[in-house]
Structure 1
């Protein structure tokens, strides 16, 4: 195999809870206050990785982040020992819940990735997302950069860029708003950046929920990756669908190779986008557009039909990986049944149980960061992060040892939880050969 697309899935962290932190994500806010099951959540995510690895896809794992982020609480004026910091912060439960979020599990927001075939210097480029729109996610960028650099160490092959400035003008949510189209993974491709609003220069935007990705951020990422402007397309997400709960493009569209699977109301000037992508691809773009009459935006958001993984099966065929919620939605399931029988490019369906993640607002696509690699680049990646039968068994046992089977917001102040998290992460970094990447390991501040 000369080149392949690898999925880097985030392991769900031990502090997975339902804090309802993400305004604009209706599943997240709708589940606020429920009791979560971190052990089940982590095993559901790991089972998804195993299912894809068993089908022959290259699958890797990304470790959770250290939470609660005690260093952030110290920056905010809480003092004393770590247990004393947590006890004081517990008087402000929303703050403690935010710095305890396990949202880094959704690695589609970790970074934007451009393969070496597209970049001026022939390296794979990663731009860490700043996620500045949400406080609980804006805490992730520095750790994400450390983690990616521990995995993609070879600077002759990989470039990991720090996050863009933490300002609304450069709101960047990573690969959730980026899709690459190509004829082959090692061939030059067309990179499509989808934005919700333009910070400077006017234009339309949503009125109810925030548009988290800006045009200015997308343009900056394309520049720093050294992309050929002729091979880049910028498209605006329809403001109305953002206001309906489509907080990222990957909740309304997904693409892979020369296939785009999207809702009819996904983009502003949708037909013009199709033409632009097809032209830059050199023809042959295959669009599977879901009519609003068959699946409304509300059903798409409720089921996460488009927050699916679109995987190459070879021979021009595609497999769609969807959550169980799609089967539970009559309109969506009827559409999918017809889709598989239609003779189009998507001819296989894999349905997975991801209920713990879904209740917090993340489906199959949210849980993975796609990285197209040549064989040589794949060999240069830290080898211990690839999922094998042995690694799966180790990770499953690790989850069983260290994760609680229920967690409420009140539990986040328990000083023993912090001990459990650090013990688990210390063991995990040894298992994955990552070195000391967490603040508690190297005595850092998290910055």
Structure 2
């Protein structure tokens, strides 16, 4: 079995490598190719990756290359974890929207749109090159904004599934609170990527007892602290929203906070510098503890589980993925990309039935789905007016004066990545 990781020079990669090494019985990788255009980073990350495999006795071969076509040739699955523009572009995404009083964040709002515009054309080019070398390869997208990128891939006819670590993070957190194994926890997880709610937590599988009321009663304070939302709000909702919902439920509060502290991008850039120094230490043969602060917790477990299921070797029967709606949520178009539990196998994911969704959540999902339609149109066709329409439709923008100003800022800060600008 051959897997390729595009963006393999990311500081995330040792987390992924650790998962491949630990879970080799689930996903027996024979060759793992790390593809990245930055040879210096690739050398550091690749060296640590080989040492991790060696320490854990994994027999697989790790190859590094800056040649995309050679790297993906013959791959059974290709994982995408790239960042167009690097941390410098992320720094911009998180700062210029604040000038208009809007949240600055890399996956939602104006910053998220900028990332989508930079990313979609690059990902589609990669996917076409994968299809030329191996049309049967699965593409697993971890590149944000996952919902928009996955929809672009599916719309172009690629065998693609989107992946996020929010659900597996909740699964692990709830399991620890309940004192059970993570595999005993099944989430009623519904929404769009980075716009999701846990409406049920079931023990033993999809038909198990719903213990969410127990979790909220006994651990509500801890969950509220994790989400940085008032306990009262969590109790009144009766569900557990993802932490990205804070950008919607406490927008102005978040903007005030972001204006008074360094950006997350600046923190991550400093962390990456430290991590790359660590990766260059020839005695380091495991992922360092600092990596846990970088983000992407449990990404490796989720990626291994999904790849194993898609390639027919195992994996959990039900997994939270990003895929076409296909009538699962009747208030959204069939070709909307949703994030829900799905039965996953060699033919891809099949979303599981979802209980009727409260209008409080359905309305926001419909609004953001409409934005994602317009965002994808802007990413594929370009043009100032398309960018403006996408921003005007977004619930975190929504005013024409803001949308106009943000459009000008977005284009100015991303001109080198926009072929049409």
TM-score interval w.r.t. the shorter chain? Answer: under 0.3
Structure 1 length-normalised TM? 0.25
